[in-house]
Amino acid sequence: MAKFDLNDDSVVCIIGSGAGGGTLGNELAQRGIKVVILEAGGRSETQDFFNDEWDSFTQLAWTDMRTTSGSWRVAKDFANLPAWIVKAVGGSTVHWAGASLRFQEHEFKTRTTYGALPGANLHDWPITLAEMEPYYTKAEFKMGVTGTNGIPRLPGNNNYKVLAAGAAKLGYKEFHSGNMAINSQPRDGRGSCQQIGFCFQGCKSGAKWSTLVSEIPKGEATGNMEVRPGSMVHKIEHDASGKVTGVVYMDSKGVTQRQKARVVAVAGNSIESPRLLLNSASSMYPDGLANSSGQVGRNYMRHMTASVYATFEKPVHMYRGTTMAGIVRDEARHDTKRGFVGGYEMETLSLGLPFMAAFLDPGGWGRSFTSAMEDFPHMAGMWLVGEDMARETNRITLDPVAKDKQGLPVASVHFDDHANDIAMRNHGFQQGAAIYESVGATRVFDTTPYPSTHNMGTNRMSEKARDGVVNKYGQTHDIKNLFVSDGSQFTSGAACNPTLTIVSLAIRQAENMAGMMQRKEI
Amino acid sequence: MKTIDKPEQIGRRGFLAATAAAPAAASLIVGISADAAWAQEAKNLTPHAMATLVKAARDIFPHDHLADKYYVAACAAYDALAADAGKKAMLMDGVARLDEDAAAKFKAANYLALNWEADRVAILQGIAHTPFFAKLRSDLVVTLYNQKELWPKFGYEGASADKGGYINRGFADIDWLPTT
């Protein structure tokens, strides 16, 4: 396995090892480019994961201090946990459920399609679906997405069967067990899904694609990539010309180190990535790196989310089997007759008993709550995930008071739902209830959004430098050897789960970055 | 369809058998009381405070199919927590508030002396905005429902990877849905 010198200024230094960073690292390493990935979290492998929700949360979740504000209920119920994402090698691909969907064509053109929505900051992406399609194809092949490349879909579990029966009753047309980056048959050196049911807790069979089980070991095998766990980056440094020169980080022993680099790529998810750019402010860049537009940290999106759970007379055991292998897509279309722009997906979701207690109705207690818990084995559940509207005021800032262990300001996350998000959520609650009631639900629960799992948009991509942070390749408008490689690049969030698009963008970025390096442009 | 027990139901025959087998010493069955052994063992909190916390825990998350021991376990950490003077004051003040409200609202000796759950719940609703209640509720939602021993009583099967997942154990065995 490669080991690179701290003073080796020929490496590409990637901050974060998740869907963006881990994929970019492997793609560059495969091209013979030297890569150092600095990962803040530790390294747990497949056999180390727990089939236990709280134990797993302790093992994997990013629980470092963050603060919140705004009218979203997460700020009240989980004031220091705005997001449920991972601090570990593999990043949030260790935790993700595997749903791998392409954006629809209009979702790259939200300003054109939806118009100038008051209170929203919509822009078209500087790329189109047609430009992305070859990369989506590569990503689907890389990740082994079911329903693509001739890979059969997963068998539907009990929770899916309830969803599908209700969807059929309601006359929905497009529902199936999903496009999932989970092996339905052995592939790419990994086995097939054993229907374990703990997809969120790190897949213990290795059937689920993650950068931990795929991109990172493949990248390491080239001899061109080194992953350093336990390495928390404080600051990106630059020279007098303004180009970045490397990063300062605290290593796993608590010692401050400086890794030099030819290129720096930020992939710490949409909360930490802007925080790092803001914390890297200097006399030359007083508002933070790559922030001449003032857009770093702004336009934070977290998807319109909510869940619908329902109890039935007879058992369901929704937690058995693949957590999210079930989807109804009919509401994902853009159709303003429903009273909102954009659309949403309905995807199967289940929680175990401990997390159901924590998330069914945060703050709930008494017999209304406990009678619901007693019906746990008779419950079915779905997640609503839809496009939320970017707003400049929904943003990540540096907390003026709270500091981390290194004395650096922590991220503060402000979020207010746009009226469109609320209208869409209400529609989803209504349709979700209708699905379950059509097959005999005796009680339906409208469950409030969880801490954000989809975090997007805080270093958005834009055609013009004044409108965003990065260009169509994720290269910052201001500093040519500084890139952003995670979901914070998203100009808009679309209705679907973001990982496939993050991976596709990383593949595309690697191709273009390698070209720029070869041409000595960076 | 493979199911596991929901809230266990003991039939009349089972109940008679169980009571016949139990020792005839009613004094062993003290319920939630300051006299209970687990309350008497408290080092930092008073036995009365321990018992009141356990009763409040049951009132916050009432499950009639759960024995008191699960609520005792859910509150067990409070005694150790009360080694910290600030935490101890918060817990003892909270218990005192419950007792004061029981006296003021219902002329009862204390919270534990209120026999109707509805009366105790009315008192809890009155303090639902306090940090004491928020702490109790947010701790208990983990310390109660994260006890593995009670998962089967809620029909939750827990870890499955060690059993080969559900691929051959009923992941798709639902048999009551309408056919389409």
pLDDT in tens, B145-168: 999 999 999 999 999 999 999 999
φ, ψ for residue A385, nearest 5 deg: -135, 120
Query: How far is Cα B179 from Cα A107, in angstroms, rounded to an integer?
Result: 36
pTM over 0.80? The answer is yes
pLDDT at B36 over 70: yes
Q: pLDDT value at position A406?
A: 86
Which residues lie closer than 8 Å to A433 by C-beta, 6 or more apart? A308, A310, A441, A444, A446
Per-residue pLDDT reduced to its tens digit, B130-148: 999 999 999 999 999 999 9
Residues in chain B with CB shorter than 8 Å from the CB of A204 are: 161
Smallest CA-to-CA distance from A80 within A97, A61, A66 is with A66
Count of beta carbons in the 10 Å neighbourhood of residue A333: 14
**Three state DSSP letters for A347-383:** EECCCCHHHHHHHCCCCCCCHHHHHHHHCHHHEEEEE
How sure is the predictor about A472, in pLDDT bands with cuts at 50, 70 and 90? very high
Cα torsion angle, B34, B35, B41, B44, sign: positive
Give the model's confidence band at A361: pLDDT under 50 very low, under 70 low, under 90 confident, else very high. Answer: very high
Structure tokens at A327: 């989807």
Among candidates A169, A204, A366 on the partner chain, residue whose Cβ is nearest the Cβ of B121? A366
Query: Does the pLDDT of residue A381 top 70, yes or no?
Result: yes
Give the one of B146, B154, B170 whose C-beta lies nearest to A376's C-beta.
B154
Cβ of A374 within 8 Å of Cβ of B172? The answer is: no
What's the length of chain B?
180
pLDDT of B12 over the 70 cut:
no
Q: How confident is the model at residue A320 (pLDDT cuts 50, 70, 90)?
A: very high
Of B154, B158, B172, the CB nearest to A156: B172
Q: List, as own/partner pairs, every contact residues A279-282 make where C-beta atoms lie below 8 angstroms and the sequence separation is at least 24, other chains included.
A: A279/A234, A279/A235, A279/A398, A279/A408, A279/A409, A280/A235, A280/A236, A280/A237, A282/A238
Q: Which residues of chain B make contact with A357, given a CB cutoff of 8 A?
A: 141-142, 144-145
Residue A257: both structure tokens together:
């180190």
Q: Where are the domains of chain B?
A: 31-143
> What pLDDT, in 10s, does the model give residues A383-405?
999 999 999 999 999 999 999 98
Q: Which of chain B's residues have a Cβ under 8 Å away from the Cβ of A378?
A: 6, 155
Q: How far apart are CA A160 and CA A148, in angstroms?
A: 20
**Residue scoring higher pLDDT (B27 or A188):** A188
Is B172–A161 a contact, with Cβ atoms under 8 angstroms apart?
Answer: yes
CA–CA separation, A209 and A192 (whole Å) = 11
**Which CA distances in Å does A163 have to A175, A435, B63?**
9, 7, 29
pLDDT of B30: 66
What's the confidence (pLDDT) of residue B6?
53
Contact A216, A22 (CB under 8 A): yes
Dist. CA B136–CA B98, nearest whole Å: 13
Q: What is the pLDDT of residues B82-129, one digit of tens each?
A: 999 999 999 999 999 999 999 999 999 999 999 999 999 999 999 999
A284 min Cα distance to partner chain B (Å): 46
Contact A370 B137 (CB under 8 A): no
pLDDT, tens digit (0-9, with 9 covering 90-100), for A302-316:
999 999 999 999 999
Rounded (10°) CA dihedral A8, A14, A16, A21: -140
Query: For chain B, what percent of residues have pLDDT higher than 90?
Result: 81
Residue B176 burial (CB count, 10 A): 14
The residue-averaged pLDDT of A428-443 equals 98
Can you give the pLDDT at residue B9?
A: 46
Find the mean pLDDT for residues A422-432. 98
Provide the ipTM. Answer: 0.95
Residues A219 and A25 sit within 8 Å (Cβ to Cβ): yes
In B51-76, which positions are buried (b, 16+ CB within 10 angstroms) versus exposed (e)?
bbbbbbbbbbbbbeebebebbbbbbb
Q: Which among B144, B154, B165 has the least Cβ separation from residue A195?
A: B165
Residue type (1 letter), B138: S
- What confidence tens digit (pLDDT) does each residue in A247-294 have? 999 999 999 999 999 999 999 999 999 999 999 999 999 999 999 999
Residues A155 and B167 sit within 8 Å (Cβ to Cβ) = no
Q: What is the DSSP string of A390-436?
A: --TTSEEEEEEEEE-TTSPEEEEEE----HHHHHHHHHHHHHHHHHH
**How much is the pLDDT for B180?**
57
* Both tokens assigned to B65: 């199919």
3-state secondary structure (DSSP) of residue A288:
coil
Q: Token digits for B91?
A: 């817990």
